Amino acid sequence: MAEQHKYFPSGIWDGFYLYGSGPASTRHEMYFHLNFSAGQVSGSGSDDVGTFTWSGNYNVKTYAVELVKSYATHRVFYRGMADENGIYGQWSIPAFTSGGFHLWPRTGQEEEEEVAEEVAAISLTFASRPAIL
């Protein structure tokens, strides 16, 4: 059964990840579908790297989200928190690189500047935190 929590709507989502840090970071958009059910999330989509699938967990009490984005060649780990504007946090490819991200349901509307500021602040917070689920 699909999740009924307002922060975790199944359906079409949009988002971006930041590659690099500070003013030199570059924004990479992605488009995908997510299914939330009983604490598990799955989905698929595409971005400038290629097609991918999502798998992971979410918690309706703490709003914590952990996702794995799997491409044909590698995996990217996403850790974040959900709120009324979507899911924010940090992605990483262990022992290689990391950056910030923001994902939101297709109906979400935010200004790019606000999103970039919040992602930067959250990226600093998540850089030193242990697993959240």
What are the pLDDT tens digits along the chain (133 aa)?
778 899 999 999 999 999 987 788 899 999 999 999 999 999 999 999 999 999 999 999 999 999 999 999 999 999 999 999 999 999 999 988 999 999 999 974 554 555 555 555 554 544 445 554 4
pTM of the model: 0.78
Q: Are 2 and 10 in contact (CB under 8 A)?
A: yes
Domain ranges in the chain are 11-126
> CATH for 11-126?
2.40.128.120
Q: Is the dihedral of CA 110, 23, 70, 37 positive or negative?
A: negative
